Structure 1
Amino acid sequence: MILLCAHDQKVDAVSLRIAPNRLQFFEYESVIFYCEDAVYWEVVHNSKGKINSCSHTNQGKAGSLCIIKSVYPDDSGERWCEAKGANRSNGINITVTAGSVILESPAVPVMEGEAVTLRCRNKTASSNFTSNFYKDGAHVHSSSTEDMIIHRVSKSDEGLYKCNISGGGQSPESWLSVTEIETDHSSEPSCHIYLILRNVFTLMMVALLLLFVGLLHFGKLGATAN
């Protein structure tokens, strides 16, 4: 039944995940790419091929990991997981900017009915500004905070989003992808349980990966101090 549920929800056998879970990054930020449920797969860039800029890599039964400690604008582009003789995974298209504003939006498709937060983030971390959000070029929301919250996302919310900050600049554009729920009453309870367990597992993996990057970062600082 779980296999049926995974098929109904169009879940890839191998999935590319990213931490933090967003599509835009400031220059010099750290990024983790993780091929979930994959044995000896590699993270591939659409124009560069196999990623050789990983600060740390790990390949094993749980998945394949690539950590980039500092990203640059030329790291922008689509990435996916790939193995010889196998289909490629889903793709994640990131944008790295040297600018002062980014839009934080989910890197992977969100399910209909979920709550989604879009965040207009200023590199200088100032909180005294107005954020304006745009979808497909049209203004859709203004906020005195960083956030635009879609409480129950639907397929009609899918599109190309960007934001700007009054006096602070504008972000690049990123695509928000929404997955429609395919109702199958015979497998609906099992599907619900499967999705909950899968999301919990993914959150645990992301937390562990972020902890790992933090330990690497502090270790690097300690070595520099010595």
Structure 2
Amino acid sequence: MEVTALCIRLLMTVLLRLVAHVDFSDCQRADVGFPQVVPNRQQFFEYEPITVTCEGLEGLTGWRVVRRIGGAVKTCAASWSTSTGPCKIKNAIVAVDSGEYWCEMGGAKKSNTVNITVTGGSVILESPAFPVMVGDDVTLHCRNKQMSSNLTAAFFQDGHLMENSSMGNLTLNSVSKSDEGLYTCSIPEDGQSSASWLIVRAADKVPHRGLQLPLLLCIAVSVFLVVLLLLMGLLQCGKHRTITIDIPTSPPSIQSFCSPLTVAEVESEAAPNRETYAVITNLRREYDNEEPLFMPVYHTLSLGTA
């Protein structure tokens, strides 16, 4: 029992260390949402202010805003140690601030990305920075740099003209997956905007709402592996387990089990100058009625005298 208990303690120690070093980043990332962009749009004119924040994401603080600009990945702040909190850009620059933005925490959690485009042109398309849900009403705005109102604008989806609007707005009522795509707009005499991708998701597929299937699968697989390792460890320990059989120190009297060979007969068969011992290997017996379950075994050992 001591060997088995020792094996179990060692196995549990190993399992705890394995679990402590398991990288659940993929599971965690499946349940993390999107950073917030203020104002909530993907396109900005150059020198406009932009704020990207992760605070409150999943009810946690201490997030860092990370961005990929022209292939280079770095935090919003000058150093990693000072990069927690919102990323505040006072004057956006085309080559410096256009790119992908996401949230990270300790290298284990990573949110989904949002795309921000800073343009030096005269027209932008205002569309949501993160996905919209199926059934929502979404309004796209086409703006010029002079912030003129009541502009006539043309809206395009995947390069196809959708609508000409005298108000500079396009409203998509009760959006569906068919509304997902690449949108642009143009204003006569001002030019055309950059393209922005509108993502439409079903309500049960929004990453930051509740536990999702990938996370549940990761948890189930982890539990299964822990149980499997525990069982394998117990089986391995069982191979080296020591079994102790308790044999009584005082065997029953010879007269009790020597009906086939009496003590007198053993003594009569002994040679004059030799001593004979009748040794009975005593096995634990259980009786059903009056018959033993195990028959006694007799050994006769002759030991020569000195």
Q: Unmatched 5+ residue regions in structure 1?
A: 1-9, 184-190, 192-226
1:18 aligns with 2:37: yes
Q: Deviations over 1:64-95 (max 9, x none)?
A: 31211111102101010012231310101110
Q: Which structure is larger by alpha-carbon Rg, 1 or 2?
A: 2
Shift of 1:150: 0.6
Q: Could you tell me how far apart the structure 1 residues matched to 2:76 and 2:35 are? A: 14
Shift of 1:113: 0.5
Q: Could you tell me the TM-score, scaled by structure 2's length?
A: 0.51
Shift of 1:11: 7.9
Shift of 1:181: 3.1
1:158 to 180, 199, 213: 180
Q: Residue 64 of structure 2 contacts residue 83 of structure 2 at CA under 8 Å; is this kept in 1? A: no
Match of residue 129 from structure 1:
151
RMSD, matched Cα? 2.3
Q: Residue 112 of structure 1 contacts residue 153 of structure 1 at CA under 8 Å; is this kept in 2? A: yes
Query: Across the two proteins, how many residue pairs are aligned to each other?
Result: 169
Give the 5 Å matches for 1:29-40. 29-35=48-54, 36=57, 37-40=59-62
Shift of 1:13: 3.4
Q: Unmatched 5+ residue regions in structure 2?
A: 1-28, 210-306
Q: Residue 76 of structure 2 contacts residue 83 of structure 2 at CA under 8 Å; is this kept in 1? A: no
Match of residue 186 from structure 1:
none
Flag the structure with more relative contact order, 1 or 2, with Cα contacts below 8 A and sequence separation at least 6: 1
Q: Could you tell me the TM-score, scaled by structure 1's length?
A: 0.69
Secondary structure of 1:129 counterpart: coil
Q: Residue 12 of structure 1 contacts residue 90 of structure 1 at CA under 8 Å; is this kept in 2? A: no
Q: Could you tell me how far apart the structure 1 residues matched to 2:60 and 2:115 are? A: 20
Q: Residue 150 of structure 2 contacts residue 168 of structure 2 at CA under 8 Å; is this kept in 1? A: no
1:27 to 41, 46, 59: 46
1:68 to 89, 92, 96: 89
1:79 aligns with 2:98: no
1:42 to 45, 59, 64: 64
Secondary structure of 2:178 counterpart: helix
Shift of 1:128: 5.4
